[in-house]
Structure 1
Amino acid sequence: MIKKLLALLLISGYSAVYAQGQFPPAAGQTGSTAIARDSSIIQSWASGTELVRGYIQISDTSVYSSGSNKATFGHPSNALGNAEGISTGVVSLGDGGMATLTFDRLIVNGPGADFAVFENSFGDTFLELAFVEVSSDGINFSRFPSVSLTQSETQIGPWDEIDPTQIHNLAGKYRQGFGTPFDLSDLEYNPLVDVNAIRFVRIIDVVGSINPEYASIDSQGNIINDPYPTPFNSGGFDLDGVAVINCNVPNTVLNFTELPLTHNSFFLPEENGMFSSGPLNFIYEAGFGSWSGFSYSNRVSLTGEYTNDQFVAATSGGMDGDTTNFAISYVSSDWMSGTYDPIPSIINVANGQAVSFSGFYATNSHMAYITLRDGTMFNKKFGGVTGNDPDWFRLKVWGVRADNSLTEIVEHYLADFRFEDNGLDYIQNDWRWVDLSSLGEVKSLNFILESSDSGDYGMNTPAYFCMDNLTVMEVQGPFIANPLADMVVNVNADPIDINLDNHFAASGVNPTYEISDNSNSSLVLASITDSQLTLTFALNQTGSSVITITSTANGLTVSDTFTVTVSSNVGIDQVEKIRLKTYPNPVIHSLTLEGAKDSEIRIFNSNGSLIFTGKSTDEKTILPMDAYPAGIYLIQVAGIYGNTTIKVSKK
């Protein structure tokens, strides 16, 4: 809920006193787990969302604000990209409303927090909360076990406060600019959710009412008491962004921004051809003043002229907001043969190789939307006069495999009036996800439209649909789930076994392992059998060895390096952590060193040439790697714990 200035001034005049709860405190306080929106651990942000708004007062749906009884504040695109950390750059969910977000990469169960959710609270104690769920397939979701220890005897009013130390695993725990972290390790095991391949994060507003008829319940059976009612157009949880922390390789998300268009315009094909975006070719045909196949647009203005208005989406722009680019397709019919069957619109992989698609967002064109809603002399109004006609308008998608066989068909209803409850009937005017992961690897996609409003000459419904954020999956490699810890052992210690499956992971395949470097194999003998690493120590010798383990999956690799120190100053088999840690490896932009304070740092390329030298003065050091070409680099750290050399792969 966006606060009014008067309320802000009233509240800022006092602060409540709470008994300290058992969970981490507000941002900036000792022990807080809040993640700043500009934190270096953030790798990416949500790139797409499907939004379902809730009522502004679920207990009385006759209450309206700004012309609606549902939340209307903000645009869905406000939930995408970097969190702004301000009160207004958000989208409000309303009571029980939800946003399901997608990303340009898979979220994985790595060390610590895996992602963070940002809300817009202006203070540490005015908190609007939300449940958080994740899914790998968009169908089966797992909810994070949440706890609210806030009393539930007295309703917290719209301007009252909550102690964050009594809140756990609920989004909105921290003030604007700071995200609530979520660790996939907290989830109960669900065989239908792959925590190493999360594609969807769902945020569901907590209805703060303590009335059991409307109340939200935490994982321990407690009623969750938060500000209620909030009968404003900005009611409910205000989503500012979702940040990705632990992830796999970036996928290719086509949002068509690179295609050349002036503001409020479109591309009108005039001859047969194609346009390209990312690794794909979008086919179109044109002639005699008409076109079919694919085009692209950012048109929002309606002029009443068919040529212009056919390129307007029902959403008034792409996923990234009004006037942003999107693709649009017109599916023609086979009138020449007399069958009037739809002729597929086609997308080809440019190099002819088969790839996997995650999915895309679809919506109606404005022309199709108003035709379905109102009807014309050529097209029926969906639902008919009574609203009971079981009308439908659907998109069908299938793929062509490398051997030219066809995949199963994926269906998506752009309008559906087949429900027994007419209140569930809809004509889509928002972006909704169409999942294509079930198609497997294909070299082309085919799209057709079908409608219940069809006659002897084919479909009467305008045969348009709009597309955005078509996502091509890259080959997913292994990742470090739990970094190998440096260790100190006593001289003549017994061999140590380490299960590498506890430290590396991959989705859908079992990674393999090898020892890619051992700087002192005469001191520490390292061997791998299946997934077990065994360290054996030479008799009566002390010193250290730097060992690098490389994991391989799907032809991709990731490496982790740790140091083993053999000393006569520790108890038998005592293992301690040495402070140096490095991540990510492989690195794309910046390499983080932890525990290198007061150390000399040198970087060597694969030819052995010294290309960087410097000194670390902080516990955490960021090394920019953008300027260096892809390849292998050696990071040498010399400090109070001796010399350590780490092999790093630069992508």
Structure 2
Amino acid sequence: MKKNLLLVLALLISVSFAFTQSVVSFENLSLEPESHYAGEDGQGGFDVDYLRFYNSFTDWGGGMSSWNGFAYSNETDNTSYNFTNQFSSAAGSGVNNSENFVVSYVDADWMNNYEPIPAIMKINKENQEDIIPGMFLSLNTYASLYMADNDLYKTEKHWFKLKIVALSTSSYFGTQAEFILADYRSDEEDLHFKFNDWTYVDLSWIEIADSLLFYIYSSDSGDYGINTPGYFCIDNFADTYPENIPEFKTDIKTDYYINSGETVKLNAFVKGGVQPYSFEWSNYEVLDQADSQTPIANVTENTSLTLVVKDAKGNSKTETVNIWLDATNISENKTFEAKVYFNQNNILNIDCEKEINSLEIFDITGKQIPINFHKSNNVNIDLSFLPQGVYIIRLSDGISSYSTKIVK
């Protein structure tokens, strides 16, 4: 009996090891202090454990060279903002202050509308069923300081994403996921972030893939591709979840006001947890992409949608999103009209033949402005505390309603 128990225990241990791939920390790669390797020897890449990283290096002469794909480095300068500082992580070291890490540069294809040229990694697993739990990502110093220069990303509400396409060369398997490495789109500054520190992301979704293709995209783009330097860093490939995971937070706008015939972009901003995030919208028939973070909606009536946002660790947030049609269109309602205007003292004046029973004021984002008023056919409200902008006024006499936009 004891022998059988020992045999079962041995089998269980062997199974647990068979399905978890070993961590690649890159510490066994040889480098001089404060140096890097980016394919200068023309080998087209480098191998470490069961991984193959590809790169392309060109020596143009006169001290000029270029590269793309993957490099490895132990450089630690995370304060110098210049093009030559390509090979340091924004964190200033590897994970847990280790020395070595991988740097990737995703170049643009000038012969193909400046689409990104993917950086390619090959995974040579002995057992295709082995699980790759995840890895750590960070920005490199050059990209991070570019985003911070004159508060560019914050001012322009930019984002910076890494897309990973996972393929199997021995089957028809293929899938992909996106990772947001920087995001400044939310109106809530607490939701702004960039991967300045090593941040864990989930890779269990790649399943039996043996090849990973890495693409960089950004809202900071022009006629010649993205303007933001297209770099990111990798360390501790196939590592398991760390003990400390950043708090999962969301900023989901719940009310949109549009006119008939207009489309509207819906927004769901997320921070923390473990990427990749998933977005599941109901009423998919009114959306261009029902799994998008920012789908475009096209509705013909007032519509409510349910959004479920999840991260890879199981955190989730469910929210109801309303699209109000014709909230500012007065052409359909001729039975109840009003004269709405600001005077020179920023007093909102509303003159109406009928008594106004209800009055609501919204800013252009759909946020309601708290006010106090008394039922009357002539209303005066001091709105001098509001900033300049466009506001939506909704009135009702209890039977009919009237809506209009007004500029302060």
Give TM-score, length-normalised by structure 2: 0.50
Higher share in helix: 2
